Amino acid sequence: MDYKSKRWLAKRDKILRRDKFTCQYYKRYGKRKDATMVHHIYPVEQYPEFMWCDWNLISLSNKAHEKLHDRKTGKLTEEGENLKRKTIPPPKLK
């Protein structure tokens, strides 16, 4: 995935605006933190079909992103896996 492509930058901006530039992780706990990045709940490497789906993208602060995604291994943390389990893909439109 090219995170510098025009398509991604436009999608990222759309999601940050949708979430009002607020970290959705900390919002669950009643805290207000600025969002600086957009996270794929279902990772692109395993689920490329969900890469551009709005429901699969959430705005996060860098600190929250570290809680959900292990930068050393590139895998989701246990908390990231929990969020993935709670986020059910919508049924396909017919």
pLDDT per residue as tens digits for the range 4-49 = 999 999 999 999 999 999 999 999 999 999 999 999 999 999 999 9
Q: Does the pTM of the predicted model rise above 0.85? A: yes
Residues 44/52, Cβ–Cβ less than 8 Å: no
Place of tokens 């602060």: 61
Cβ atoms of 44 and 51 closer than 8 Å: yes
The span from the CA of 11 to the CA of 21, in Å, is 13
pLDDT tens across 65-76, in order?
999 999 899 899
DSSP letter for 49, please.
G
